[in-house]
Amino acid sequence: MIQTLIIGLICVFLAYFSKNRNNKYSFECAFILLTCFLAIRYDWGNDYHDYLLIFKEIGSSGLNLFDWSSLKDYYSNGEFGWAFLNILFKPFGFFAMVAVLTIFEQFVIYKFIKKHVPIKWYWLALLLYIFGPSHMLIGLSMMRQYLAMTLYLIAIDFIYSKKFIPFILIILLASTMHLSALILLPTYFLRYLINIKINKKTLVTLTLLYVIWFFYAPSFFSNILSNILSLPLFHAYEYYVPAKLTGLENIGLGFLFNNVVLITLLYKLSVQSAKIRLLFILSIISFLIVPLQTIAPLVGRIGYYFGLLTIVCYPSLIQSIKNKYYKNGLLLGIILVNIKGFFDFFYSEIWYNDFLIYKTIFGAHHWM
């Protein structure tokens, strides 16, 4: 954890100084440092060891790149893309695969921030990405879905440019890594909401609807989700489905603060550029998923796709606020929530044993 904290702070400071003309490449330096730090990781993350075992198993199975029927059989639910990658990197080893995927993923994140975030707010986008537990950190464990998430960032450009076929192809590719990506297909049609106007009356109505949704969606969808997640298609994800679906347990300051952020996102939606409005709309979906993940954690994994967009939405949101007290208060709140989430993540009983101590491939007994 200490290494992650130090590297993260260095990267944020480098990103902060990138607004100065004399340090115009410091943001690039921040991402190079971060990418190297992540690319050489070893046995760091809950699922790292499992992915290593899968790599070895596929490597010894006799599968080859041209045996499509066997690839499909290996991942019977359609996620044969990951098996394809494992076979592709078999001559180079698992470490090489992790490093190459890390470089690709971090490059996508880097370009996404550069494209959508004003230079003076690079530091905030990077802070949210590194310290927000639902972004970089959790992506280190769920390698397949994180790859699908970065592919979705690429696909979003095709929503705005109205290129349906490329969008579909990228989502289908992402689904071969993680089946959950298929849920992203309908998001293409959210581009029709880009020009939506939200006045104060509409804002109040939407806020009340969200509160009702938050409290009543879990009980309403409990049986529906239970039946859906019991289908054979989702048997591979039984680990993420609790034996008994439960409702909301803890509602406090976090719920209230999230409401403030959501209301502000809705209120400032119409003052953003068209591309940022699309990202705002997509990121709001992550708020709608929160109550559903309390009854089925697997559903929460869908929220990661949309939650990742907040790393560019929040900087644009902060910049658009005119009242300096509200602006600084919301900024401070967002930072504190993410910093708290960072420490809660590392000391959580779920992640503690596999994340607290950072290890590198140089400490491994041999190349794998």
pLDDT at position 95 over 70: yes
Residue 118 has pLDDT above 90, yes or no: yes
Going by the DSSP 8-state scheme, the letter that residue 94 receives in this structure is H
Asked if residue 139 has pLDDT above 60, the reply is yes
Would the pLDDT of 307 be above 80?
A: yes
Range name among 56-65, 91-100, 315-324, 353-362 with the lowest pLDDT average? 56-65
The gap between the terminal CA atoms of the chain, to the nearest Å, is: 24
> What is the average pLDDT score of the chain?
85
Q: Whats the size of the chain, residue-wise?
A: 368
List of residues 6+ apart from 315 with CB closer than 8 A:
117, 118, 121, 124, 125
Burial category of 29 from C-beta neighbours within 10 Å (exposed 0-12, middle 13-18, buried 19 and up): middle
Identify whether the C-beta of residue 151 lies closer than 8 Å to the C-beta of residue 173.
yes
pLDDT of 6 reads 94
Mean pLDDT in residue range 52-77? 70
Q: Of the candidates 184, 126, 177, which has an alpha carbon nearest to the alpha carbon of residue 153? A: 184
Query: What would the mean pLDDT of 31-47 be, rounded to a whole number?
Result: 93
> 197 φ, ψ to 5°?
-110, 130
User: Does 187 score more than 50 pLDDT?
Assistant: yes
CA distance linking residue 328 with residue 118, whole number of Å? 17
Q: Is the pLDDT of residue 73 over 80?
A: no
pLDDT value of position 228: 62
- pLDDT band at residue 315 using 50, 70 and 90 as cut-offs: very high
- Confidence at 250, pLDDT banded by 50, 70, 90: very low
